[in-house]
């Protein structure tokens, strides 16, 4: 088995990377460091946090390679291992690990298509007046709401920005799309969940000429007034390796609930 190790581009994790490579080689794996994901491997290992998985996960999904995250970030909700658990990497050589596919979204604006593992966020400029966003499902209008913005997220993204905006936690193994308004000027601006088989469109009206769109916090794009953004389930899926098992439920308990106690 051949593994490549990718790191957080904004953080110096060389010491951890060296430890990871040493462990992998001691378990008989052909391991090497690479700043970018490429096809010449059987498994991809990221060293960093959730942002590192978001950055490298799209390419991993494109080439259909499973990804394992080792956390050196603050939260590491999608990662499977902490830096004190590197001995568990030996399970990569056995059947003692699980691979779970994560749904992704296609976000289509003006003919350009962007892939989202977490979310697409539509938001107004700080000084602009409130736009009125319109959400449609399969061509049927569902919500027209004045708000600072809205979030369209995958189940994986339900524990990211959408959670901070009051959205529910969704098991990442489901196929659905979560709609969460941002600071809606309404008593009835509540999140909604739609089946993954539907095609959703977002457009807006009002005084601003454009609103900004951020895909997974990386891709920036402007949506013009009268233009439609199409959101639908992608054919791509990211296969995340869960070495310890039940990592999602453990993360909810240990990283979201217990810190509040």
Report, as residue numbers or ranges, the catalytic residues.
50
Cβ atoms 167, 190 nearer than 8 A: no
Residues in the chain: 261
Cβ atoms 53, 77 nearer than 8 A: no
List Cβ neighbours of 256 (8 Å cut-off, separation of 6 or more).
Answer: 159, 163, 169
Cβ atoms 237, 61 nearer than 8 A: yes
Count of alpha carbons within 13 angstroms of residue 89, beta-carbon side = 30
Cα gap 58→23, rounded to integer Å: 26
DSSP 68-91: EEEE-SS--SS-SEEGGGGGGGGG
Cβ atoms 121, 147 nearer than 8 A: no
Q: Return the sign of the alpha-carbon dihedral for residues 72, 78, 84, 86.
A: negative
Region of 183 (left: φ > 0; alpha: ψ -120 to 50; beta: rest) is left
């Amino acid at each position: 088995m051949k593994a490549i190790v990718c790191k957080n581009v904004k953080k110096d994790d060389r010491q951890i990377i060296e430890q990871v490579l040493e462990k992998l080689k001691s378990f008989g794996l052909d391991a090497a460091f690479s700043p970018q994901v490429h096809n010449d491997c059987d498994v991809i290992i990221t060293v960093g946090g959730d942002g590192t998985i978001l950055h490298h996960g799209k390419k991993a999904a494109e080439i259909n390679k499973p990804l394992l995250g080792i956390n050196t970030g603050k939260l590491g909700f999608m990662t499977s291992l902490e830096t004190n658990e590197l001995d568990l990497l030996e399970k990569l050589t056995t059947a003692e690990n699980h691979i779970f596919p994560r749904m992704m979204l296609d976000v289509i604006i003006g003919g350009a298509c962007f892939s989202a593992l977490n979310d697409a966020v539509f938001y107004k400029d700080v000084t602009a007046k409130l736009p009125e966003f319109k959400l449609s499902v399969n061509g049927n209008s569902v919500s027209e709401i004045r708000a600072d913005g809205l979030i369209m997220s995958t189940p994986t993204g339900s524990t990211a920005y959408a959670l901070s905006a009051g959205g529910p936690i969704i098991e990442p193994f489901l196929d659905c799309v979560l709609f969460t308004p941002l600071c809606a000027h309404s008593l009835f601006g509540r999140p909604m969940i739609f089946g993954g088989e539907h095609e959703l469109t977002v457009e807006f009206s009002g005084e601003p000429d454009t609103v900004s769109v951020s895909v997974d916090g990386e891709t920036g794009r402007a949506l013009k007034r009268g233009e439609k953004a199409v959101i639908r389930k992608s054919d791509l899926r990211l296969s995340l390796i869960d070495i310890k098992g039940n990592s999602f439920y453990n993360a909810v308990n240990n990283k979201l609930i217990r810190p509040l106690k």
